[in-house]
Amino acid sequence: MTNPYKAKKTTVSELRMDLVSDDWVVIATGRARRPETFAKEKRTEVEVPLKKCPFCNLETQGTPFCQCPKGKNWRVASFPNKYPAFSAGEKLNKRKEGPNEILDGVGFCEVIVTRDHKKQLAQFSQTEVKEVVDAYQERYLDLMNKKLVKYVAIFHNHGREAGASIAHPHSQIIAFPIIDPDLRGSVEGAERFYKKEGKSVYCTMINWDLKDGRRIVYENKKFVVLCPFASQTSFEVRVYPKEHLPYFERMNEEEKNLFADGLRVALNKLYRGLNDPPYNFYIHTAPCDGGNYDSYHWHLIILPKTAVWAGFELSTGIEISTIEPEKAAKFLRKF
């Protein structure tokens, strides 16, 4: 009787560890898909008629916090979220329920809307993306100084599979009184590596990738776009400043222009290469709680919805990617 578990000459997958979190991911090299197959997947359309679109009828959204440019010819605007996850308050009202701890959901929720009902960020010019980045920064700087706020999350959902319930392109900003587990893990991992190695874990990874070249999608003077070594999902893309910078909100004009360039290129390559896939992107930056985060390195993460979490992922927390990041980056460089 043959042994079905006899060691193979070539393995069907690789386990890769994320240097920051110490988490493992599975790169399924043995059952890897061809990059072109991702572009053929069916998309679920999210469509709302213009007459019923809340972001095309801004008189229903309240007074904008910011507009660029100001007035009726605005192209980017920020409004209060009409369905907030947090609400303004003066106290957290910390309390116990048995062994459990409860805080009031104090915070601030906004949407950042771009004017065109259909034109998405992947189709924007660099100047247009820069206007969105300006709005992100302006609102971040205001919200970070609100009472009780410790972190400001900026994220963008595109496509129904990625959680977008309104087709009109928009981003969200949520300021809240805790540091979320994902960011906390990244901050702690960066500090742990620095104490052990005496250098930034992010700079270590970025410098290696720039030297190695296989996972680089695009770079300019200040930013690099890459598929990370331990990608969480197929075609994960990250935009990093080349210089060690902990805080997104401290970018100057040159940096914002070049960040907008990197983000535009990354989204456009995914749009063309994968036929407009659903995705989420979000910014990870050092918290605004007054702590010392010199070891951290801010960045933006784009996660296309190329897989569904099933039993293995849910039970272990380990994600399986069906294409190596080296192949993903090579494919995206063509677009």
The residue assigned the tokens 């569904």 is: 308
Distance CA 268, CA 278 (A): 13
What is the radius of gyration, based on Cα positions, of the chain? 21
- The distance from CA 310 to its chain's CA centroid, rounded to whole angstroms, is 22
Of the pLDDT bands very low, low, confident and very high (cuts 50, 70, 90), residue 259 is: very high
181-197 helix and 201-212 helix, angle to the nearest 10 degrees:
80
pTM for this structure? 0.91
The answer, yes or no, to whether residue 12 has pLDDT greater than 80, is no
The answer, yes or no, to whether residue 11 has pLDDT greater than 80, is no
Long-range contacts made by residues 254-259, C-beta under 8 angstroms, separation at least 24? 254/222, 255/222, 256/130, 256/133, 256/134, 256/137, 257/126, 257/130, 258/220, 258/221, 258/222, 258/223, 259/133, 259/222, 259/223, 259/300
Mean pLDDT in the chain? 88
Mean pLDDT, rounded, for 32-52? 67
- 3-state secondary structure (DSSP) of residue 154: strand
Which of 210, 198, 142, 215 shows the shortest CA–CA distance to 175? 142
The answer, yes or no, to whether residue 13 has pLDDT greater than 80, is no
Which of 314, 307, 324, 318 shows the shortest CA–CA distance to 11? 324
Task: Classify domain 50-176 by CATH architecture.
Answer: 2-Layer Sandwich (3.30)
Distance CA 173, CA 282 (A): 10
Burial 116-138 (b: 16+ CB within 10 A, else e): eeeebbbebeeebbbbbbbbbbb
Selecting from 1.10.8.60, 3.30.360.10, 1.10.1040.10, 3.30.428.10, what CATH number does the domain 14-43+180-333 have?
A: 3.30.428.10
- pLDDT recorded at residue 298: 98
* 113, β-bridge pairs: 77, 170
The answer, yes or no, to whether residue 309 has pLDDT greater than 90, is no
The answer, yes or no, to whether residue 307 has pLDDT greater than 80, is no
Distance CA 22, CA 49 (A): 46
pLDDT per position as a tens digit, 89-114: 889 888 989 999 988 899 999 999 99
Q: Do domains 14-43+180-333 and 50-176 have the same CATH topology?
A: yes
**Domain locations in the chain as residue ranges:** 14-43+180-333, 50-176
Side chain identity, residue 320: I
Q: In sequence order, which residues have a C-beta less than 8 Å from that of residue 222 and are 6 or more positions away?
A: 241, 242, 243, 254, 255, 258, 259
- pLDDT recorded at residue 32: 60
**Poorest-pLDDT segment among 26-35, 154-163, 248-257, 311-320:** 26-35
